[in-house]
Amino acid sequence: MTQADLAARLTVRGVVLDRASITRVENGKRYLRDYEIRAIASVLRVSVAWLFRETTDPKPVRR
């Protein structure tokens, strides 16, 4: 998935994070808010724990 694709999918979910912001996140120059992290995990269909390398299982936890 490209940064532009990710940005577009996040926008649909109400999270405004443009491609340039995603670049800054990847380079460690911008921090994410908790709701942005949850949205990214949802778009990528992985768990938040997997994003933070707290688990090797990428599947999100169903509640």
* 16-48 residue pLDDT tens: 999 999 999 999 999 999 999 999 999 999 999
Q: What is the structure's pLDDT at 48?
A: 92
* pLDDT beyond 50 at 63: no
Q: What is the structure's pLDDT at 10?
A: 98
Q: What is the structure's pLDDT at 7?
A: 98
> Model confidence at 58, in pLDDT bands (50, 70, 90)?
confident
55: burial class by Cβ within 10 Å (0-12, 13-18, 19+)?
middle
Of residues 24, 6, 26, the one with CA closest to residue 16: 6
DSSP letters along 8-43, please? HHHHHTT----HHHHHHHHTTSSPPPHHHHHHHHHH
Give the global pTM. 0.85
3: CB partners within 8 A, 6+ apart? 19, 22, 23
